[in-house]
Amino acid sequence: MGKRVLILSGSPRKGGNSDTLCDEFMRGAIEAGHEVEKIWVQGRKVAPCMACYYCTDHSGECAIKDDMTSILQKMLDADVLVLSSPVYFYSICAQLKAVIDRTVARWLEIKNKEFYYIITAAAPTDQAKECTLECMRGLAVCLEGSVERGVIWGNGVYGKGEIAGHQALTQAYEMGKSV
């Protein structure tokens, strides 16, 4: 039986470089027989956490009524979580950060997940990757039983479509197949 894979594409550009890598990961995972859903976060309404802690007194229900409720349930139901973001000033984009911060409503329930990370950057060096990767890993560190399974790094790409022909495309596909 296949695993349930949830891909959270933080790319602000639909079809952007990191979003394209998500598609390749998804293609590989589907071919391997897994159930895969990709959420393009920019296309959903996810407000930032207000730190009101309404969720603490209301069994994990958030005071903010937006798409995060369904995204969070999908995160709970998934076996595998794929976090994807372009590098923004050595960190993740705001879209993905809002999702991560909003997991506070039910973070103690998110357990035993396999994590994959997809990162793209204009910079050709690994320095940008390391800082951004630590931001992504921050979520997994807080979740009981989390295991990191892989990192895909598409460096030296900036403009939409520059990922074409990049070795990261093959890596994303192969990593998806290996889930």
Token pair belonging to 114: 């396999």
C-alpha separations of 90 from 37, 111, 128 in Å: 27, 28, 5
CA distance 18 to 88: 12
Give pLDDT tens digits along the chain (179 positions).
799 999 999 999 999 999 999 999 999 999 999 999 999 999 999 999 999 999 999 999 999 999 999 999 999 999 999 999 999 999 999 999 999 999 999 999 999 999 999 999 998 878 888 899 999 999 999 999 999 999 999 999 999 999 999 999 999 999 999 99
User: Which residue stretches of 35-120 are H helix?
Assistant: 54-57, 68-77, 94-102
pTM score, two decimals?
A: 0.96
CA distance 149 to 75: 17
C-alpha separations of 57 from 46, 54, 64, 101, 125 in Å: 21, 6, 14, 18, 45
Phi, psi of 70 (to 5 degrees): -75, -35
Give the amino acid at 167.
Q
CA distance 15 to 41: 12
Token pair belonging to 76: 């709970």
